[in-house]
Amino acid sequence: MNDNIRVNWQKLLLRILLYFVVAVICVVILYPYFVMLCTALKSRAEIFSINGTVLPLNALWSNFVDIWKKAPMAQYMLNSIIIAGGSTAIAMVCGIPAAYALARMKFKGQTAFLGFIIVSQMFAPVVLLIGIYKVMQVMNLTNSLLGLIFINAAFNQAFTIWLLRGTFMSISAEMEQAATIDGCNRIQAMMKILLPVAAPGIVTTLIFIFINAWNEYTVALCLISTDTIKPLTVGINIFNGYNMIEWQYLFAASIFAIIPVVILFMSIEKNLTAGLTAGGVKG
């Protein structure tokens, strides 16, 4: 009896310790966002006050309204949605067939090609920035949303192929073979059998591509000069002046930039864990 009580107490203490560690991690992760929200609710005088505190003395919710008057926030958000949505669509349309071929077909140089895909992920856009600018200049896409869509799709292509290949390899090929026996060709078997089963992995890949394209800053800053076609990440620099940074407006705009990503995660949270584990196979 005493042994059972001791075991129960040990389990309880371990659970309390686990909850405590999780709570500490959550506080560390969320604290910067809390400071951002508090700063967005302050006046400029309170932000630069020597005796200022983290919490605002008088919350100015009007700051969230003022940013829409001081900057074309709606246009910036629309541009970001077009860029992120377009690059995600292109990356998925190109990545799904490529990942399927690497998962189901055998060909010479397959291992080398997979290695090339991994190596291509090592190059950050900033390293290739001069080359990217030259290519976009030749194609007359230096100051256009279409150029950013192509660039974001290209830089997310390797990640798309690698993650979806693991997802497809985790699905038994016998399901497609059964479909071919019933009269389906390879494309029909992929569309009707494989893709519905791989939906969690596809959704997870789609999330990460969209977020990467939504958060992209460096290439957009260098390629886009017209204010009306700037994405949100670059457009909110309007509050970062030469002589003064309007922190309350900058943080308020940043919160609006975070909202679409949070909504996206909340809407597809069920598929996220399944998709991450579906791609975690050896092959």
Higher pLDDT, 110 or 223: 223
3-state secondary structure (DSSP) of residue 144: coil
- Bridge partners of residue 245, in order along the sequence: 240
Q: What is the pLDDT of residues 135-158, one digit of tens each?
A: 888 888 888 899 999 999 988 888
Domain boundaries, the chain: 2-40, 71-278
Torsion sign over Cα 55, 60, 61, 66: negative
Task: Return the pLDDT at 230.
Answer: 92
- 207 near 264, Cβ under 8 Å? yes
pLDDT of residue 280: 43
Q: pLDDT grade, residue 282 (50/70/90)? A: very low
Which amino acid appears at position 236 of this protein? I
* Residue 237: strand, helix, or coil: helix
Looking at CATH, the fold of the domain delimited by 71-278 is given as MetI-like fold (1.10.3720)
Q: Model-level pTM?
A: 0.82
pLDDT digits (tens, 9 = 90+) for 226-280: 888 999 999 988 888 767 788 889 999 999 888 888 887 777 666 555 544 444 4
C-alpha 267/C-alpha 241 separation (Å) is 36
Q: Is the pLDDT of residue 82 over 90?
A: yes
What is each CA distance from 3 to 7, 9, 37, 71, 251, in whole angstroms? 6, 10, 50, 67, 55
